[in-house]
Amino acid sequence: MKSADVVIIGAGIIGASSAYFLAKAGLDVTLIDSRGPIATGGASQACAGGVRHQARMPVEMPLALHAIKLWKTLGEELDADLEYRQDGMTVLTDEETLIPRLEERVELERSLGLDIRMVYGKELHDLIPGLSPRILAGSHCPVDGHANPMKATSALAAAAERLGARLKFHCQARSLVTLKGRITAVRTSKGDIPCRHVVLAAGAWSKTIAATAEIDLPFHPFPLQMMVTSRQPHFLDQVLGWLGHGISLKQVPAGGYLIGGGWPGIGDLLNGSTRLMPGAMAKRAETSLDLFPSLAPIPVIRAWVGIEAFCVDEMQVLGPVPGIEGLFLAAGFSGHGFAIGPGVGSLIADYFVTGALCKMFEPFTIQRFSAQERKI
């Protein structure tokens, strides 16, 4: 197969963003995936499309602030409707004992530069009509929002292709080929692709691929379920989260209510197959009604599962690998990678152009794990 400067393994939001920004920077890029950018089963299908700053670890806030600035003009740049809406997000609680925890987080995030505040009682219910009367308070960030993961991922891949990137779908990466401590090729189901650099962005599948270069990524697969209701007249602008209840609720532009939040499904990494867990679906529907009672008469019309890669510390692994020249890891986003995906891709491109790793990536390199937790 034709050689490339950079082979990107995985065409989810991270891989597609990397392909776009690397191609934009003038590099010769090949993006491969065992399925495709809008195939079911991967992490970009397991997310609810939240584009949020709040409720992140402090070390990730600079990356979130950088990334979400890009979302404001990304659709125009890609000449695509990403269904991006910046209508705010509120993380809610119905427990008096949890309010101080929310208040403390809000103060921390304000100190990090985020536009966020607490809302209580009547002000909260005026801000979000339809909430259950039991809800007492929430952290409201007006610059949070949501987008369509399928449209965003496919638009980034298509834009990369327009800039000259080669897209190879139904092309499974089987191993990394190295010689004297540097990347020389990616071995795939369709033959070897000679290259100088690899961006490994294959989500939960990254662990197996990395192992072919004797790298032990501390990941485990976590299948997550999503549900969407039938279309309804527009009513809910914001994204809603419920502290301690694992619910993410939003109304998408087409009218359906999208319900996510980390509810488990069943998935098989070997063949990529996924199945729903009816019990978890029923519990999630019940919890959603407790938060937003007006959902009661609205039927769920579709549910699906995607497999996320959760890292041992629930933070992504980002950066080059000591001892393997040319390999860059970008995986293990643990359920919070969609919003920062375009930012990650843009900063990966900067790294390949300048050779300098940005400070925003430094907390996430593989070096943070002890020798007992990684093997290089």
10 SS3 class: coil
Residue 43 has pLDDT above 80, yes or no: no
CB atoms inside a 10 Å sphere around CB 57: 12
Mean pLDDT over 83-98 rounds to 97
Mean pLDDT over 8-17 rounds to 96
pLDDT tens-digit series, residues 176-202: 999 999 999 999 999 999 999 999 999
What pLDDT does 376 receive?
41
Tokens of 133: 């009367």
Q: What CATH number matches the domain at 86-143+221-308, 3.30.9.10, 1.10.540.10, 1.25.40.10, 3.40.50.2300?
A: 3.30.9.10
CB 10 within 8 A of CB 202: yes
Q: What is the DSSP letter of 255?
A: S
What pLDDT does 373 receive?
45
More reliable by pLDDT, 282 or 347: 347
CB 127 within 8 A of CB 140: yes
- Of 38-42, 101-105, 349-353, the range with the lowest mean pLDDT is 38-42
Tokens of 135: 């809800």
What pLDDT does 371 receive?
44
Mean pLDDT over 151-164 rounds to 96
Beta bridge partners of 193: 186
Q: Counting Cβ atoms within 10 Å, is residue 299 exposed (0-12), middle (13-18) or buried (19+)?
A: exposed
Task: Please enumerate in sequence order all residues whose Cβ is within 8 A of that of 65, keeping only pairs 6 or more positions apart, or say none.
Answer: 53, 113, 114
Cα 196 from Cα 181, distance rounded (Å): 12
Half-sphere exposure of residue 159, counting CA atoms within 13 Å on the CB side?
A: 27
Domain locations in the chain as residue ranges: 4-67+149-219+313-368, 86-143+221-308
Residue 39 has pLDDT above 90, yes or no: no
What pLDDT does 228 receive?
95
Mean pLDDT over 95-123 rounds to 97
What pLDDT does 165 receive?
98
Cα 20 from Cα 340, distance rounded (Å): 15
**Average pLDDT of the chain, as a whole number:** 94
pLDDT tens-digit series, residues 222-268: 999 999 999 999 999 999 999 999 899 999 999 999 999 888 999 88
Q: What CATH number matches the domain at 4-67+149-219+313-368, 3.50.50.60, 3.40.50.300, 3.30.2420.10, 2.40.33.10?
A: 3.50.50.60
CB 253 within 8 A of CB 84: no
What pLDDT does 374 receive?
42
Give the model's confidence band at 370: pLDDT under 50 very low, under 70 low, under 90 confident, else very high. low
Residue 45 has pLDDT above 80, yes or no: no
Give the model's confidence band at 166: pLDDT under 50 very low, under 70 low, under 90 confident, else very high. very high
Give the model's confidence band at 37: pLDDT under 50 very low, under 70 low, under 90 confident, else very high. low
Cα 62 from Cα 358, distance rounded (Å): 11
Does an H or E element contain 127, and which? Answer: helix 121-127
Mean pLDDT over 205-215 rounds to 97
Of 323, 332, 330, 318, the closest CA to residue 366 belongs to 318
Q: What percent of the chain has pLDDT over 90?
A: 87
Residue 64 has pLDDT above 90, yes or no: yes
What pLDDT does 36 receive?
73
